Amino acid sequence: MATAFHNLSSYDASTVPSAEGMKIGIVVADWNDRFTYAMAEGAINTLTRHGAREEDLIIKHVPGSFELVYGAAWMMENEELDAVIAIGCVIRGDTPHFDYICQGTTQGLADLNARAEIPVIYGLLTCNNADQAEARCGGVLGNKGDECAITAIKMVAYSQD
Ligand code: DLZ
């Protein structure tokens, strides 16, 4: 399993460029908000710790993960951003709904990324159960929001090089 030995919050800070002056959008799905809000908080804390100003972080909420694609596209159209982070958490239920939401959201975010306008960071947790989400939202495997923030900073620096 990819994250079995990898803490999502652990990274070598010396390899992370400064986030000073970066303007980052964060779209947060309200489904499973216990997890998505923890990820958003992790992303915000990590971005500011690396130099981003809180007033340069534009945070907007959408109802569920499926709306992250529209939310991220809207931000790209309407805000002057350097990157956008999409945060959601889908937990498997009894029907195939899980697969459709995960696939549609993932493909939609990938399509936005392929436009190469600004980096779109994939902060979608696709979990079999709540325990897996818990472990990745500040639990034993760290916080996916931290990882998204570091990825956003690195991709903005990449695109400005
Ligand atoms: C409908 C639904 C279900 C069953 N499960 C989740 C989930 O685990 N995580 C999530 O973010 N959203 C879920 N949704 C809502 C959909 O993402 C979407 O908001 C609705 O289908 C309306 O488009």
Among all chains, which residue has been given the structure tokens 């939609």? Answer: 108
pLDDT at res. 161:
81
Model confidence at 5: pLDDT above 70: no
pLDDT > 60? residue 20: yes
Say which residue the tokens 């916080």 belong to: 143
Nearest CA to ligand 1 atom 8: 90
Q: Report the alpha-carbon distance of residue 18 to residue 21 in Å, rounded.
A: 9
Whether the predicted pLDDT of 124 surpasses 90: yes
Catalytic residue check, 97:
yes
| Segment 26-74, tens digit of pLDDT | 999 999 999 999 999 999 999 999 999 999 999 999 999 999 999 999 9
Q: How confident is the model over 148-159, as pLDDT tens digits?
A: 999 999 999 999
Strand 24-29 relative to strand 120-127, pairing: unpaired
CB 43 within 8 A of CB 145: yes
Compute the average pLDDT of residues 70-79.
98
**Residue 4 pLDDT exceeds 60:** no
User: Could you tell me the fold of the domain covering 22-160?
Assistant: Rossmann fold (3.40.50)
Instruction: From 59, 72, 45, 57, select the one nearest 146 (Cα to Cα).
Output: 45
How much distance in Å is there from the Cα of 3 to the middle of ligand 1? 24
Which of 35, 62, 65 should be mutated for ligand 1, with most atoms under 8 A from CB?
65
